Amino acid sequence: MNIAPGGDRLHAQIEFALEIDKLKRVIRRNTLMDGSRRENDAEHSWYIGMLAMVLGEHAPPGTDLDRVVAMLLVHDLVEIDAGDTFVYDRAAVAAQGELERKAADRIFGLLPEEQAKRLRELWEEFEERRTPEARFARALDRFAPMLANHRTEGGTWSLYKVTAEQVLENVKIIEEGSPALGAYAAEMVELSVSRGHLARS
């Protein structure tokens, strides 16, 4: 259906817009902060985009926060095909890369060529953590679920028997992107352990 001027380019952009709405149907393991239900991927992407704006002063000096927000909006689109990967499931994490690359080929490939290239590059930058922007974006991606689990008295940590040592591996990734957020995350782990919401192995 071609209902407006713009031809194939506009049609491709609309098809992409319709496709990414499916991110709202991808359900994550962690819950909302009030524990009422599980979060979906679109909510997660919006939330950490907002965190980039609010916590941006804790990024490395000179970090391009607009690029960070763009990366965070794009980073989980591949989960429309690949599904959400639980970071504490080693087998799923091992299989994640190939599934997500195939998803990136298909989903970003819906767009006009130069837009597909830009969004794919943002996604790859996030995955590879090769820039301060990508490291800060990844830090926020790991920080938000930790905040939710801490707030919900263990949340998915308790449900899936995640240990403090496993969570501290994620703290390293947060520290890499933001020492201040990494220190805060480490404090959350210790508090959760002391309150009995997170067990040591």
CATH of the domain at 187: 1.10.3210.10
pTM, 2 dp: 0.94
Task: Tell me if 121 is assigned to some domain.
Answer: yes
Task: Tell me if 21 is assigned to some domain.
Answer: yes
Task: Tell me if 6 is assigned to some domain.
Answer: no
pLDDT tens, per residue, the chain with 201 residues: 444 455 799 999 999 999 999 999 999 999 999 999 999 999 999 999 999 999 999 999 999 999 999 999 999 999 999 999 999 998 998 999 999 999 999 999 999 999 999 999 999 999 999 999 999 999 999 999 999 999 999 999 999 999 999 999 999 999 999 999 999 999 999 999 999 999 998
Nearest to 44 by CA among 59, 66, 54, 29: 29
How many domains does the chain divide into?
1
Contact at 8 Å (CB) between 85 and 96? Answer: yes
The per-residue pLDDT for 1 is 44
Task: Tell me if 1 is assigned to some domain.
Answer: no
Task: Tell me if 74 is assigned to some domain.
Answer: yes
Taking the C-alpha atoms of residue 201 and residue 199, their distance in angstroms, rounded to an integer, is: 6
Task: Tell me if 3 is assigned to some domain.
Answer: no
The per-residue pLDDT for 2 is 44
The per-residue pLDDT for 6 is 56
151 exposed, middle or buried (CB, 10 Å; 0-12, 13-18, 19+)? middle
Which residues span the domain enclosing 133?
11-194
The per-residue pLDDT for 188 is 98
Task: Tell me if 28 is assigned to some domain.
Answer: yes
What is the residue type of 118? R
Task: Tell me if 199 is assigned to some domain.
Answer: no
Instruction: Report the run of H or E that residue 39 belongs to, with start and end.
Output: strand 38-40
